[in-house]
Amino acid sequence: MAVTALAVLAALALLLWGVTSHFAPFLLPDLAAFALAARSAFRCRCRLRRQPPVTLLDVFRSHARRRPRRVLLRFQEEVHTYGDVDARSDRAARALLRRLGLRPGCAVAVLLPNGPAYVWCWLALAKLGCPMACVNTGARGAALRHAVAAAGATRLLSTPEFRVAVEEALPDLHRDGVRVFYLSSTSPTPGVEPLLPDIEDEPPEPVDPQYRAGITPNSTALYIFTSGTTGLPKAAVITEMKLMMVANLGRLCGLRPDDVIYTTLPLYHSAGLLVGVGGCFELGATCVLRAKFSASQFWDDCRRYNVTVIQYVGELIRYLCNTPKRPDDREHGVRAALGNGLRADVWREFLQRFGPVAVWEFYGATEGNAGFVNYTGKIGAVGRANVFLRRFAPYELIEYDVEEDEPVRDERGLCIPVYPGDTGLLVIKITKSTPFHGYMGDTQKTEKKILRDVLVKGDAYFNSGDLLMIDREGFVYFQDRVGDTFRWKGENVATTEVEATMATVSFIQEVNVYGVTVPGCEGRCGMAAVRLRPGRAFDGKQLYGVTSAALPAYAAPRFLRIQDSLEVTGTFKQRKTQLVRDGFDPGAIADPLFIRDDSAASYVPLTHDTFAAILDGKLNL
Ligand SMILES: *[C@@H]1O[C@H](CO)[C@@H](O)[C@H](O)[C@H]1NC(C)=O
Ligand SMILES: *[C@@H]1O[C@H](CO)[C@@H](O)[C@H](O)[C@H]1NC(C)=O
Ligand SMILES: CC(=O)N[C@H]1CO[C@H](CO)[C@@H](O)[C@@H]1O
């Protein structure tokens, strides 16, 4: 098997060497990456095709059996070994079975903070063959009720920490027939029962494996909620196969069983839970959890727990770079960083300041059917357009009309692939090996993510909603979320590009760029919300200078809003919706507002008179 595969690879390599000479410098790394990915996919498939299938839970259990004393979790002062967590999840599985009356396949929603309970709860549910629905800890009221219902869950596990949210939604949850439990020793909420005493009463003995008898590679292991730009979150289906593949990402990036992985990302998202904790299950490695990311504590934690690998999202690295410099900035054992959304400028600054850390930037959507990993370490790139991998996960970048918010189609009604160097919408073909499982109970939303008739009539692609660019050498660059681009004066403005420019201004700590509607104007006019560096004053002339030098006139923000803090989501993505809605009315916004004034070559305060002049069409933007 392996020999045939190698022969095929070698033949392919020889063939391609001549044909695509510009790929030649990267042929070996491309081939190596392909071989690694193929081996990983092969391993996952073999495990899950066995009878009964070997799931990630089984991989965890075999580590727990062979090396029970190995540390799985560190959280604050707590140390939990593989053996401890296995036993704990056995007790919990028994208690859940008895108290919740679960049957295999019943989804159970959890609203839990980052911590060991998240992990043993997950394992307990997996041992019962029940998918866990990971509710965003920020969900309140209707959003909480919606999340539980979207996953089809009839039980919700939480803790008194979320008492306010639970009590607010409780009448509605009860009306929907959902029973709520706290994983605590007592309950402050009438109608919510505590589970901890029951869990502690149970013996640490495994539950009957019969509960997992129905598991196939296709079974739902988890529901992870993805937030769109609009509307309520969608419950993305994570199957056993997908879980296994994503948990193997760390191994693909060279992580080892002796690694200590530091996760400050929320566990209700796939990066923290699947790549981080799941990656540790896969490797038998140690995971250091933190309730919440803290920029000032980050490196102290890394030193204290001997962390070797960190997980990031782009903003997190930016926060780290924004902390005051310290003499011990380079004193840490971190050798690799795993994550996504890191911009080239921040990436460079991070390496310069904190030393040689291998940055494994990857790209992939929770519900997506394929992704990219940077396997060459090219700064700024999310990966390579690997000709070998493309045969298995065929993707295209297609022309996208930002104004109409849909792909451009030719006279035959098909999409148009972009040329190298041009930005296009990433779509990935839906095939047997790259399936798209969609969103639970929402065929309409699932169908919306599927793009049909892309290259030929009748084909189907997963619409990533992301704009990417592949350069002539085959490096892939993330450009924008589809919603992050707006039109102004007939031009596309990429908010991330404007943000990257404004972030270089010395007095700006954080910036969030978006487009606001102006009565009587087509498209959206650029606006930026900024947070100033502590102790620094706003300098309109300097900002004007930097933005005019680096940005085309249509892209430089016309309006500016200074905020004490910029609101971010659980994964530090900036929230734009509310800012867009707020607009630029000085009568309605308490924050200081400025307008770009070309005659003064500066940003000047936006007065009520100026605002009125804009509305009356007397002042042309
Ligand atoms: C997995 O599910 C899909 C439908 O979602 C079905 O077409 C396919 O046959 C299933 N595969 C296996 C191995 O059960
Ligand atoms: C970190 O490493 C040092 C030196 O090897 C060791 O003494 C210490 O106990 C380790 N700390 C943890 C939390 O593993
Ligand atoms: C497989 C591979 O080459 N991965 C690379 C990704 O990028 C970092 C550098 O930032 C390299 O160290 C890794 O080796």
pLDDT surpassing 60 at residue 1: no
Beta strands in 264-344 (DSSP E): 286-289, 309-313, 336-340
Ligand with the closest atom to the CA of 237: 1
pLDDT surpassing 90 at residue 7: no
Average pLDDT of the residues in 151-177: 95
For ligand 2, say whether the CB of 184 is within 6 Å of any of its atoms.
no
pLDDT band per the 50, 70, 90 thresholds, residue 570: low
Tell me how far apart the alpha carbons of residues 213 and 209 are, in angstroms, rounded to a whole number: 7
Residues 82 and 229 in one domain: yes
Q: Report if residue 134 sits inside a domain.
A: yes
pLDDT surpassing 90 at residue 197: yes
Which residue's alpha carbon is at the smallest distance from atom 6 of ligand 2? Answer: 306
Average pLDDT of the residues in 347-359: 92
475-481 and 460-470 beta bridge pairing = antiparallel
Average pLDDT of the residues in 349-370: 83
Q: Read off the pTM.
A: 0.78
Domain count of the fold of the chain: 4
Domain carrying residue 402: 364-481
pLDDT surpassing 70 at residue 574: no
Q: What confidence tens digit (pLDDT) does each residue in 297-331 have?
A: 999 999 999 999 999 987 788 889 989 999 999 99
For ligand 1, say whether the CB of 217 is within 6 Å of any of its atoms.
yes
Average pLDDT of the residues in 99-127: 95
Residues 232 and 115 in one domain: yes
- DSSP character string of 324-384: PP-TTTT-S---EEEEE---HHHHHHHHHHH---EEEEEE--TT-S--EE--S--TT--EE
Ligand with the closest atom to the CA of 373: 3
Q: What confidence tens digit (pLDDT) does each residue in 390-433 have?
A: 777 788 899 988 766 789 999 999 999 999 889 899 998 888 87
For ligand 1, say whether the CB of 433 is within 6 Å of any of its atoms.
no
The pLDDT value given to residue 19: 47
CA 253 to centroid of ligand 3, rounded, Å: 8
Average pLDDT of the residues in 133-146: 87
Q: Report if residue 321 sits inside a domain.
A: no
Residues 464 and 498 in one domain: no
Residues 213 and 118 in one domain: yes
Pseudo-torsion of CA 32, 33, 38, 39, nearest 10°? 70
Q: Which residues fall within 8 angstroms of residue 147, CB to CB, at 6 or more apart?
A: 109, 133, 135, 136, 139, 225, 232, 233, 235
Ligand 1 nearest-atom number relative to CA 218: 1
pLDDT surpassing 90 at residue 375: no
**Gyration radius of the chain over CA positions:** 25
Residues 469 and 562 in one domain: no
CA 378 to centroid of ligand 3, rounded, Å: 8
What is residue 419's DSSP assignment?
Answer: P
The CATH number given to whatever domain includes residue 609 is 3.30.300.30
Of the residues 206, 223, 239, which one is the last residue of a structural domain? 239
Residues 34 and 166 in one domain: no
Residues 448 and 489 in one domain: no
The pLDDT value given to residue 4: 47
Which residue's alpha carbon is at the smallest distance from atom 12 of ligand 3? Answer: 358
132-134 and 155-158 beta bridge pairing = unpaired
Closest CA relative to residue 312, chosen from 274, 369, 283, 271? 271
pLDDT surpassing 80 at residue 382: no
Residues 436 and 512 in one domain: no
Ligand with the closest atom to the CA of 438: 1
The pLDDT value given to residue 364: 74
pLDDT band per the 50, 70, 90 thresholds, residue 84: very high
Residues 90 and 222 in one domain: yes
Q: Is the separation of the CB atoms in 287 and 85 below 8 Å?
A: no
pLDDT band per the 50, 70, 90 thresholds, residue 9: low
pLDDT band per the 50, 70, 90 thresholds, residue 289: very high
Ligand 2 nearest-atom number relative to CA 305: 13
For ligand 2, say whether the CB of 262 is within 6 Å of any of its atoms.
no
63 burial (CB, 10 Å; 0-12 / 13-18 / 19+) is: buried
Of 189-203, 248-262, 472-486, 521-535, least confident by mean pLDDT is 472-486
Mean pLDDT over the full length of the chain: 87
pLDDT band per the 50, 70, 90 thresholds, residue 134: very high
Residues 85 and 206 in one domain: yes
Q: Report if residue 194 sits inside a domain.
A: yes
pLDDT surpassing 50 at residue 122: yes
Which residue's alpha carbon is at the smallest distance from atom 2 of ligand 2? Answer: 306
Average pLDDT of the residues in 437-445: 80
Q: Report if residue 326 sits inside a domain.
A: no
Residues 84 and 218 in one domain: yes
